[in-house]
Amino acid sequence: MENTGNLDAAIEQLLNVEKQMRLAGDVAGTKKAVTDILQLCFEARAWKTLNDQIVLLSKRRGQLKQAVTAMVQQAMQYIDETPDLETRIELIKTLNNVSAGKIYVEIERARLIKKLAKIKEEQGLIAEAADLMQEIAVETFGAMAKTEKIAFILEQVRLCLDRQDYVRAQILSRRISPRVFDADPSKEKKKPKEGDNVVEEPPEDIPSLLELKQIYYELMIRYHSHNNDYLEICRCYKAIYEIPSVKENPSQWIPILRKISWYLVLSPHGPMQSSLLNSTLEDKNLSEIPNFKLLLKQLVTMEVIQWTSLWETYKDEFENEKNLLGGSLVDKAAEDLRERIIEHNILVVSRYYSRITLKRLAELLCLSVEEAEKHLSDMVVSKALVAKIDRPVGIVCFQTAKDSNDILNSWAANLEKLLDLVEKSCHQIHKETMVHKAALKV
């Protein structure tokens, strides 16, 4: 019948066979019948008939789950063989409608949505593609491979960033725990016990776990760059730097180490920034880029940094970043770099002076009195520093005023030290006396 081109008659005969097998509860026979029908339509290139048969077979009374699964999987192989884009979209939508609400084909539906979203993105419909992807919550799919889940969520995050929906991008990114990238893939997989979900193998185009780790942190850099969160950007670059494939290739790790150094300098002063700064300085690879090692050492050293000389030294390096891996720094980076140097200088001054005039402070910072006062006030408000300004007199006091409890505690501590010293002195005197008595007796 197939050879004579009588497609409808062949399908009718197979539908009768499918009905007999389905009513008899023959799983293998039903699967064979439905896949044969789809194969006939595909070989005849009857795409409309194929779509109609998929819908018809899925809606038949008491249709077996295994038959629907086999049918969807079979039809998915034909998507790339479609003659034009319109036919492809129609087939994907048909399969999507058939698999909607069926848990046993949830993985197939997720893959179909991903294909459709990619087509929409190629057409320039970023918002539609993002909305399509957000319909699927792959983190609840027990049978989907871990790498495929991560890749799917990362695609959702990327599309949200492309449409500048940063709030939703952050919510979706939290579905991935960074600790999942630290798992050892070389360990053998445990054999599933009875009753456990069998995890499917991911498709060949899904990246490895370490590749997904790099993609994840690159997307997080895009997100944090929007908020100018320099410390988080630095931590993301640090995570990429720790990937073995990156650390083995100097052409990759040198630009990333440069980015780490820049964002460390741009980060506000704090415990985390200080910890990262010291750990980066201990890195032996930093000696390969001596300019940046010197820059970080200047921040650690408690000395005033001259902004003009620093900018002259590093201006070319700063502008050269746009041509390197990872792209240019954020737009506000040059202004924020000057801010951080001023903050560093104020902290240095607070270490060496308990009281200083505003005029002298401004001279040390190479700023006007108004600018020096503004920067100092900003640091006090952000709790990076404790200081008080007597504006009529023009004096800055860096000492903290102690309350009565602190004063009493310090007195009690001093008395305890004094009594301890007296006790030790008495013991030494008594010891010397006993030694001299013993000598006289002899």
Task: Classify the C-alpha dihedral 117-121-123-128 as positive or negative.
Answer: positive
Average pLDDT over residues 89-94: 86
pLDDT of residue 418: 93
Quick: pLDDT tens for 169-185.
888 888 888 888 877 65
Whether the predicted pLDDT of 191 surpasses 60: no
* pLDDT given for residue 79 in this prediction: 83
Which of the four pLDDT bands, split at 50, 70 and 90, describes residue 134?
Answer: confident
How far apart, in whole angstroms, are the C-alpha atoms of residue 155 and residue 178? 16
Contacts of residue 312, Cβ cutoff 8 Å, sequence gap at least 6: none
Mean of the pLDDT values across residues 212-228?
89
Q: Closest Cα to residue 72, out of 48, 106, 43, 40?
A: 106
| Cβ burial, residue 169 (10 Å; 0-12/13-18/19+) | buried
| Residues 284-313 pLDDT 10s | 888 888 888 888 888 888 888 888 888 888
Mean pLDDT over 124-148 rounds to: 83
- pLDDT tens-digit series, residues 41-67: 888 888 888 888 888 888 888 778 888
pLDDT of residue 195: 46
3-class DSSP assignment, residue 113 = helix
Walk across the sheet containing 355-357 and list its strands.
355-357, 395-397, 388-390
**For residues 357 and 395, is the Cβ–Cβ distance under 8 A?**
yes
Name the DSSP class of 328. P
Cα separation, 151 vs 180, whole angstroms: 13
52: Cβ contacts below 8 Å, ≥ 6 apart: none
User: What residues contact 11, with CB distance under 8 A and at least 6 apart?
Assistant: 37, 40, 41, 49, 53
Of all residues in the chain, the percent with pLDDT exceeding 70 is 92
Between 103-117, 185-199, 419-433, the lowest mean confidence (pLDDT) is in 185-199
pLDDT at res. 425:
94
What confidence score (pLDDT) does residue 424 get? 93
Q: How far apart are CA 364 and CA 353, in angstroms?
A: 12
What region, left, alpha or beta, does residue 326 occupy, with left being phi > 0 and alpha being psi -120 to 50 degrees? left
Q: How far apart are CA 387 and CA 349, in angstroms?
A: 12
Region 236-246 average pLDDT: 88
pLDDT of residue 1: 41
Query: Cα–Cα distance between 128 and 164 in angstroms, integer?
Result: 13
Is 52 exposed, middle or buried (CB count within 10 Å of its CB: 0-12, 13-18, 19+)? Answer: middle
How much is the pLDDT for 67? 84
Q: What percentage of the chain has pLDDT greater than the value 90?
A: 5
Phi-psi domain of 45 (left: phi exceeds 0; alpha: psi -120 through 50; beta: other) = left
The mean of the pLDDT values for the chain is 83
Helix (H, G, I), strand (E, B) or coil at 397: strand
CA 161 to chain centre: 13
Cα 251 to Cα 51, 62, 223, 246, distances in angstroms: 51, 61, 25, 9
Question: What is the spatial distance between Cα 21 and Cα 60, in angstroms, rounded to a whole number?
Answer: 13
Reply yes or no on whether the pLDDT at 161 is more than 60: yes
DSSP string for residues in 172-217: HHTTS-GGGGGS-TTSPPPPPPTTSPPPPPPPTTSPPHHHHHHHHH
Q: Give the global pTM.
A: 0.78
Say which amino acid occupies 135: E
pLDDT confidence tier of residue 4, bands split at 50, 70 and 90 = very low
Strand bridging mode 355-357 / 388-390: unpaired
Which residues 6+ apart lie within 8 Å of 383 measured at CB? none
Whole-angstrom CA distances from 206 to 95, 104, 213 are: 22, 22, 13
At residue 299, the pLDDT reads 86
